[in-house]
Amino acid sequence: MNIFLLANEAAAESPLSFKLLPAYSTIVVFLVAFGIFKFFVWPKITKALDARDEKILSEIRAAEAAQAKAKAAQSEFEKRLEEARTAADDMIRKARSEADRQADELRTRSQRELEDMRLRATQELESAKRTALAEIHAVAATLATSVAGKILKREIQPSDQKRLVDESLSEMTSR
Amino acid sequence: MQFLLASGNNPISHVIDAPVRIGGMEPYSGLTLQVVTLFVGLIVFMAVLLYASKNISTGKESLGHRRYLSRGRIAQVIEVMCLYLRDDILTPMMGKKDAHKFTPFLLTLFFLILSLNLIGMVPMQDMQLITGTWIQDAQLAVVGGTATANIAVNAVLAFFVFIVIQAHGFRELGVKGWLEHLCGGHELVAGPKALWLVVPIIFVVEVLGLIIKPAALCIRLFANMFGGHTLLATMLMFGGMTWVGTNSGLATAGVTLVSGIFAILITFMELFVALLQAFVFMFLSAVFISLMSHHEEEAEAHELEGATATAH
């Protein structure tokens, strides 16, 4: 019941009663709190927050600079890549034209050589033909003479032989 | 049962200030529980904020980038509050210059009131009474109660706000500007003479407003804290009242259960109110201070409007 009694005694006062001790205490408490906050708490907090802001800003600036640098490097790289690509295309084009030129040259040379070979073969054939004909003439004359001698059973004079050969040749040629 | 009876037979008795008692005696005449709580609040305020500021401040270089981070939950919570109040509330409302100037004052108000409100949520008075009663009827009551439920405490805090508002008004507007402000502003005083008839009325209203604004701060905080704790005490009283009325354990248990659940819910609401009222006190103080500022932006806007009208 002591609690009830305590409570009843306290309840006798009005909640709105203004007492000086709490008021004076509040003045002291607030001034001390304000002093502590203004001189020991807030400067530290603002300094830290400002330092953090500055750090974040500097990091952002550095990141932006790095990004700009990377972009420049990328554009430089792309430019060089384009140049390399162009150079490669030129080289390929040149190589292709060179290859075409060489192929044409080879083809021309081959054709010329073929032509030469054909010509040479024709000449050789002509020559062989002429030689063969001459040999045939000789052999034919000898054979004809021999055959004729045998047929006539008489000696044919060289003048006869020459005449017979010429006649045979002319016959052969006319044939 | 003593826990429930501790709320007393009058809920207001639980909330109202009481003298410091040791062994049923009052060794320090006039010293009350809320005054002691006030100083306890100051100690908590200092301890928490000094600890937080130390942990918010930039650390050693050896920590690398982590030195810019706040260390510990308490420091992080305080930092978030400071940043939010400074950057999202005070700077947009007062402008950068005034916000920079008044933030320490306003945040002191906020954190001090918050400390006192939250300490008031701890039922120290009841614990001491109960413990003191158990320990050879010692009737121990050294600290307890909510300091912001004391009208004198709030009145002094509001008085500081009043001083700051008027000092800022004098500095910003000058004596002439301040008097013009009390008469409705320069536009009215320098305007058509027919409007001078309303100047006395406005003067009376403004002079009353000088007092009413801080008085409203004081009474709002007092009423919220006093009312909340009274409601809580009322909830806790129901069990005791049921026991006294019915002498039935079952009925008392039922009522106690229901009222206890509601008391818990109201305690959570009180926690929110403790934060909200600290914010409201600080916020309205900032509003009243900024009302006394010479609004250069408004003046520029008026000049712009005037120039536009002339051009047309």
ipTM metric: 0.85
Angle between helices A42-152 and B96-121 (to 10 degrees): 110
Decide which of B14 and A120 is more confident. A120
Residue B12, min C-alpha distance to chain A (Å)? 6
Please, which contacts does B171-176 make with residues 24 or more away whose CB atoms are closer than 8 Å? B172/B292, B172/B293, B172/B294, B173/B292, B173/B294
Residue B228 forms part of a structural domain: yes
Structure tokens at B7: 């709320």
Strand partners, B141: B21
Looking at every residue in chain A, the average pLDDT score rounds to 85
Identify which has the larger pLDDT, B23 or B89: B89
Instruction: Provide the token pair at B54.
Output: 């130390």
Taken in order B171, B284, B146, A4, is the CA torsion positive or negative? positive
Distance from the B300 Cα atom to the nearest Cα atom in chain A, whole angstroms: 30
> 3-class SS at B147?
helix
How many percent of chain B have pLDDT more than 90? 45
Query: Which residue from B minimizes the CA distance to A17?
Result: B151
Mutation target vs B (from A30, A34, A47, A56; most B CBs, 10 A cutoff): A30
pLDDT, mean of residues B118-145:
76
* Rounded Cα–Cα distance for residues A28 and B239 (Å): 41
Averaged pLDDT, A87-114: 93
**Would the pLDDT of B297 be above 60?**
no
Residue B296 confidence (pLDDT): 52
Q: What is the pLDDT of residue B20?
A: 83
Q: Count of residues for chain A?
A: 175
Best of B7, B31, B43, B68 to disrupt the A interface (most A CBs within 10 Å) is B68
Q: Which of A15, A34, A48 sits opposite B57 (nearest CB)?
A: A48
How many residues can be counted in chain B?
Answer: 312
CA distances from B176 to B189, B213, B300 (A): 11, 22, 21
How high is the pLDDT of residue B269?
93
Chains A, B: CB pairs < 8 Å? 158
Candidate from A7, A20, A27 with C-beta closest to B14: A7
In angstroms, the CA B58 to CA B51 distance is 13
What pLDDT band is residue A10 in, cutting at 50, 70 and 90?
Answer: very low
**pLDDT-based confidence at A153, cuts 50/70/90?**
low
Please say whether the beta carbons of B153 and A15 come within 8 A: no
Q: Mean of the per-residue pLDDT values for chain B?
A: 84
Q: Would B308 be classed as within a structural domain?
A: no
- Domain-located, residue B126: yes
Whether B152 and A22 have beta carbons less than 8 Å apart is answered as yes
Tell me, what's the pLDDT at B135?
60
Mutual angle of helices B249-291 and B96-121, in 10-degree steps: 160
Amino acid at A131: T
B45 in any annotated domain: yes
Per-residue pLDDT band for A18 (boundaries 50, 70, 90) equals confident
Chain A residues within an 8 Å CB radius of B142: none
Q: What is the pLDDT of residue B180?
A: 84
Distance set, CA A44 to CA A38, A54, B70, B77, B90 (Å): 10, 15, 12, 16, 19
Please count the structural domains in chain B. Answer: 1
User: Per the CB < 8 Å rule, is B46 touching A51?
Assistant: no
- Answer whether residue B291 shows pLDDT above 80: yes
pLDDT at position B9, please?
Answer: 62
Percent of chain A with pLDDT over 70: 89
Nearest to B105 among A7, A25, A34 (CB): A34
CB B270 within 8 A of CB B228: yes
Q: What is the pLDDT of residue B191?
A: 75
Chain B interface disruption, residue of A2, A5, A6, A52, most B CBs within 10 A: A6
**B98/chain A closest Cα distance in angstroms:** 15
Q: Do A55 and B12 touch (CB under 8 A)?
A: no
- Closest CB to A40: pick one of B6, B50, B107: B50
Write out the residues of chain A at the interface with chain B, using a CB-CB cutoff of 8 A: 2-4, 6-11, 13, 15-23, 25-27, 29-30, 32-34, 36-38, 40-42, 44-45, 47-49, 51-52, 55
When pLDDT is averaged across residues B212-227 and rounded to a whole number, the result is: 93
Domain spans of chain A? Answer: 50-174
Query: Tell me: the pLDDT tens digits for A157-173?
Result: 778 778 877 877 777 76
Judge whether B302 lies within some domain. Answer: no
B25: three-class secondary structure by DSSP: strand
Does B307 fall in a domain? no
Which one is predicted more confidently, A2 or B128? B128
Residue of B21, B35, B160 with shortest CB distance to A21: B35
Return the percentage of chain A with pLDDT > 90, whole number: 51
- Least confident span in A115-119, B28-32, B69-73: B28-32
A11 and B12: CB-CB below 8 Å?
Answer: yes
Q: Supply the range of the domain harboring residue B249.
A: 2-296
The full 3-state SS of A159-175, as one line of letters, equals HHHHHHHHHHHHHHHHC
A23-57 per-position pLDDT tens digit: 999 999 999 999 999 999 999 999 998 888 888 99
d(CA B178, CA A122): 131
CB B76 within 8 A of CB A42: no
Cα separations in angstroms, B16 against A6, A88, B226 = 11, 94, 8
Residue B309 lies in a domain: no
Average pLDDT over residues A66-78: 95
Residue B305 falls inside a structural domain = no
- Spatial contact of A19 and B155, defined as CB atoms under 8 Å apart: no
Task: State the pLDDT confidence band at A97, using cuts at 50, 70 and 90.
Answer: very high
Q: Which of B16, B46, B82 sits opposite A45 (nearest CB)?
A: B82
* Sequence-separated (6 or more) residues with CB below 8 Å from residue B207: B182
Query: Residue B85: its pLDDT value, please?
Result: 94
Per CB-CB distance under 8 Å, the chain A contacts of B42 are 29, 32-33
pLDDT digits (tens, 9 = 90+) for B178-208: 888 888 877 777 777 777 788 888 889 989 9
- Per CB-CB distance under 8 Å, the chain B contacts of A58 are none
pLDDT of residue B132: 67
Nearest neighbour of B226 by CB, restricted to A15, A20, A37:
A15
Chain B residue with the nearest C-alpha to that of A18: B152
